[in-house]
Amino acid sequence: MYIDNTSDIEIGKSVSIARNTEIYTHGHYHDGTPIENDVKSGRIKTSPLKIGNNVYIGASVIILASAENIGDNSVIGAGSIVTKNIPKNEIWAGNPAKKIGSVSENTI
């Protein structure tokens, strides 16, 4: 697992993060400035991430800085790339990840 930790990360209770997962809390501006200049100057944009309670993150998932919240009781399928917030009680998968189902309150 890799966590870049350039911004705050909050991980809830009973969270399972499978192998080879990558979590990023920073990105670069896309305004035509060469990336080398962003790195040298420290001009990167950061974003905190909150992972709720009872979340399952499958193997080889990539969570990008554009996602700031992974809701309680959610599931992220293996190999997914998360580019936006995931609401609670939802199952997401794919590249980019999208909702493919819901988690029943009765199964939690």
Question: What DSSP letter does each residue of 58-81 carry, written as one string?
Answer: -TT-EE-TT--EE-TT-EE-TT-E
Q: Which residue in 59, 93, 94, 54 sits closest to 71, CA to CA? A: 54
* pLDDT tens for the 108 residues of the chain, in order: 888 877 889 999 999 999 999 999 987 666 666 656 655 566 677 889 999 999 999 999 999 999 999 999 999 999 999 999 999 999 999 999 999 999 986 655
What's the whole-model pTM score?
A: 0.84
Options 3.40.50.1220, 2.40.50.140, 2.160.10.10, 2.60.40.10; which CATH number does 2-107 get?
A: 2.160.10.10
Could you give the residue numbers annotated as active site? 28
Domain boundaries, the chain: 2-107
